[in-house]
Chain A
């Protein structure tokens, strides 16, 4: 037995090496994909953002190093930037408020109906994003019962919902809700119910147990969910386009019109870059803060 062991050890070392090499091979398709569809476009986008216009010819640009594209774009479009983050922030907050109780309910209360409930959460995604947003146009229309209801209570400043910021935020909240629910559910589902019993046993009321045990343990889900909601919501343009007025345009709309209508590629590229950078900075600050004890 003793004589066999060392050679067995060597063999497992060799196979471990082989395994790690296999790992790299498995990365290859993904890396290639990223290189072609992310790295190269990324560089192209950056170069476009520095291009200079050809005098007298609209929509034509030459390679340059025109850094002023950035301050120019920001000076013109900073309100849309701010609005994007504001709308995305409110939508994320609302989504969290709606999703947390729902995810909690699915994780702890529904028992064997869990799978069905999760399918129901995802079910709307079987219809296209665009279609669902169009549907909201009908739901929130001036003649619709929601608008009439709130009007009866005199709660609407403009006597309508469609084509206001309320509709845009509502659309964003609705469309990205599943991205909030699923990570929250995953985090809550992992919590051992005995921890809640233990907390209860140690003089913590239901509310204190939530505050001291459930909430901190669900934080990874909260962080993942808010990021998965906030990031796409900040860059979204469909909701603003379909549900908002021209006063509610977000940075996604600006980038879209600059690319497609004005054919101002450098400005659009510069805006895309700034959006990306701002989101990255926000996400890193957020994650770092979430990772520390003081958020717990």
Chain B
């Protein structure tokens, strides 16, 4: 409110940002530009450095090296209370001795802004909590407390709003509701939101840019759909949704695609969808992109599709879709989702089946068996 009109929101730049706790680098040489006005999600398993990154931007943690800029302004050495940045804390951290109104007014009062009452009232209006103004935080539900936390940060019109797992404490239904709500508020105010979460669905629904973090580094960054459809690393493929991955070797290259043989089976990967620089290639496919067929319908598969034979070992019906677990000849378990649009027989346990999918959905990743094993381990520890 104080800066209205003259206030230009600017990009947030992190440059070679590193944070070491002892010998361990929680954040490792991170360079990143978060465009002004975007809803940016930092997604990763616990311990990947996403919260540390956020705390460094907030000024609650001091970087070991590197710098943080908002536009041209270097904020690396500013104290937390001097930064044009506000945080929505994971546990909300509402002040228990102050009522909702005073909680929201806190930042304005510290900066001696005029017309606090009007600003607080319109902010409470925005988060639909005006009738609760005189209640204490403990008298509010989790979802309401969450909105107070957002209002308390947002009323200061920060250049960047940081959200640290803001929906972590809410139940599933409320979380869905708040995802939409937060997205609405962000669109309405146009502030840059940097959102830290381990929930891939939350990141995808809300953010317009998602950065997947692993071991203090960003594995991949982009629009949620782009990352999902075309992951660049085995970690991203597994962390953002599910993926079936087959480690193999490049055997041939044509004008628009490469051939990869994994476990004796030939897969075609479009060159534009291959991120492996060398001959070791992991072939990946999302479960819902595959079609499951009875083995004797094999000749109906369109030519050029990748295919794979196996035996159904588990079927679970989940309303909208059915999830099949298919075991290949070499013992790998492949997950397939089939939308329940067909009436009639489904494959059942023990059936010999063939899976097929278009090269348009196939992706190639760098690495071999060891990469797959490492990824599986990281995900197991993070979960």
Contact = CB atoms under 8 A, between A and B. Distances in A.
Contact of B80 (A194, A195, A201, A296): A201
B7 interface: no
B97 A198 contact: no
A201 B96 CA distance: 17
Interface string A142-177: 000000000000000000000000000000000000
A202 interface: yes
Given A201-B87, A202-B156, A208-B110, A296 B81 contact: no
Contact of B87 (A198, A205, A213, A296): A198
Interface in B105-136: 106-107, 110-111
How extensive is the interface on chain A, given as a class?
A: 10 to 19
Interface string A182-205: 000000000010110111111111
A201 B86 contact: yes
Q: Which of B81, B152, B153 has the most CB of A within 10 A?
A: B81
Nearest to A203: B110
How extensive is the interface on chain B, given as a class?
A: 20 to 34
Nearest to A194: B93
B60 A197 contact: yes
Nearest to A202: B107
Given A201-B80, A202-B110, A213 B95 contact: yes
B58 interface: yes
Contacts of B95: 195, 198-199, 213
Interface in A191-228: 192, 194-195, 197-205, 208, 212-213, 216-217
A202 B111 CA distance: 9
A198 B110 contact: no
Contacts of A208: 110
Interface in B74-104: 79-82, 85-87, 89, 91, 93-97
Contact of A201 (B58, B94, B97): B58
Interface in B53-80: 58-60, 79-80
A194 B86 contact: no
B91 A194 contact: yes
A81 to B, nearest CB: 36
Contacts of B106: 199, 202, 204, 212
Secondary structure at chain A's binding surface: helix, strand, loop or mixed? helix
A200 B58 CA distance: 10
Contacts of B81: 200-205
A198 B104 CA distance: 12
Given A202-B152, A203-B156, A197 B80 contact: yes
A203 B111 contact: yes
A213 to B, nearest CB: 6
Given A202-B152, A203-B81, A205-B81, A197 B110 contact: no
Given A194-B93, A195-B95, A201 B60 contact: yes
Contacts of B110: 202-204, 208
A212 B81 CA distance: 14
Given A201-B58, A201-B60, A194 B89 contact: yes
A138 B107 CA distance: 54
A213 B107 CA distance: 13
Contacts of A194: 89, 91, 93
Contacts of B59: 200-201
A216 B97 contact: yes
A198 B107 CA distance: 10
A216 B95 CA distance: 10
A203 B93 contact: no
Interface in A105-151: none
A19 B149 CA distance: 41
A205 B85 CA distance: 15
Nearest to B162: A201
Nearest to B80: A200
A60 B21 CA distance: 78
Contacts of A213: 95
Interface in B152-180: 152-153, 156
B116 to A, nearest CB: 13
A202 B60 CA distance: 12
Contacts of A198: 87, 89, 93-95
B147 to A, nearest CB: 16
A212 B107 CA distance: 12
Contacts of A205: 79, 81
Nearest to B105: A202
Contacts of A204: 81, 106, 110
Nearest to B58: A201
Contacts of B58: 201
Nearest to A216: B97
Interface in B199-241: none
Contacts of B87: 197-198, 201
A197 B93 contact: yes
A217 B87 CA distance: 21
B160 to A, nearest CB: 12
Nearest to B107: A202
Contacts of A202: 81, 86, 106-107, 110, 152-153, 156
Q: 9 shortest A-B CB distances, which residue pairs?
A: A198-B93, A202-B107, A203-B110, A194-B93, A200-B80, A201-B87, A203-B81, A204-B110, A216-B97
25 contacts: A192-B93, A197-B80, A197-B89, A197-B93, A198-B87, A198-B89, A198-B93, A199-B106, A201-B59, A201-B80, A201-B85, A201-B86, A201-B153, A202-B86, A202-B106, A202-B107, A202-B110, A202-B152, A202-B153, A202-B156, A203-B82, A203-B111, A204-B110, A217-B96, A296-B97
Given A198-B93, A212-B106, 20 more contacts: A194-B93, A195-B93, A197-B60, A197-B87, A197-B93, A198-B89, A199-B95, A199-B106, A200-B60, A200-B79, A201-B86, A201-B87, A202-B107, A202-B153, A203-B110, A203-B111, A203-B156, A204-B81, A204-B106, A217-B97
